[in-house]
Structure 1
């Protein structure tokens, strides 16, 4: 897409990002609220990357780096804008960010049941590591 702009999110984008994720993302997270999004932006200001086409939010990815791991979450593209290079542009920006920060490997969280996402990640050069399993414990009560 020639009219695509990739930028980092601002705290004022939180409500729009949450609405976007309802339309474009699979699954939900315990952090899917304004406090979660603004907290992410405050903690790691360059992590939430947004793709806009003609001022419309069409894609997102969280590219978090903690000094040890390069973690990718919430790669999402509006259904009407899929297969136009939006996800590729977002991943390119995320990977450039990681390299600039000294990161060595991108690690994506992908829902097991989301076969379309698994195909997209594979097409982007990522592969599944079957010897790992995610272990979680909710901390909010």
Structure 2
């Protein structure tokens, strides 16, 4: 992973991040638009961590903290760059961020059908909690 650099996103990255997620991430969300990504970056400038190689976006993770929970979303790596330690580096950066701000546990949102992601999260030390279910209500 020597050619990969990590950095936090800036507002100008919003469109590139959205294009990256279409290629590398599983699933979509109602917040997958430039306004949603820009709002995230504005509210919590350290939350969206990007991995770049030769100036190209190759990985991402959202490491959000609301003062109560450390939430992980959108861990994604370009298919052509997988199995190179990029997701490990992204999660290490997210966990260091959480530790520095007093976080005590990371919660990852993982699609039920994404078995590759299940293996990746498990290998990073996360475990599934079957007694919880996510309940959602779109506001728009």
Tell me if 1:126 matches 2:126. Answer: yes
Aligned residue for 2:75, secondary structure, equals: strand
> Could you say which residue in structure 2 is the equivalent of 1:2?
2
Q: Unaligned regions of 5+ residues in structure 2, if any?
A: none
Q: CA deviation at 1:55?
A: 1.0
Paired with 1:91 and 1:53, the residues of 2 have a C-alpha distance of: 17
Q: TM-score, normalised by structure 2?
A: 0.99
Q: How many residues align?
A: 140
Q: Residue 72 of structure 1 aligns with which residue?
A: 72
What per-residue deviation string (whole Å, max 9, x for no partner) do you get for residues 12-67 of structure 1? 00000000000000000110000000000011110000000111100000000001
Question: 2:18, 2:30 → 1: CA distance?
Answer: 12
Describe how 1:12-91 pairs up with structure 2 within 5 A.
Answer: 12-91=12-91
Q: Distance in 1 between matches of 2:21 and 2:48?
A: 13
In the alignment, structure 1 segments of 5+ residues that lack a partner are none
SS at 2:51's partner residue? strand
1:98-113 equivalences in 2 (<5 Å): 98-113=98-113
- Which residue of 1 is the match for residue 136 of structure 2? 136
TM-score where L is the length of structure 1: 0.99
Instruction: Determine helix, strand or coil for the equivalent of 1:62.
Output: strand
Deviations 1:106-139 (A, max 9, x none): 0000000000000000000000001100000011
* Structure 1 moving runs of 4+ over 3 Å: none
Cα distance, 1:4 vs structure 2: 1.0
Q: Secondary structure at the match of 1:73?
A: strand
DSSP-derived class of the 2:139 partner? coil
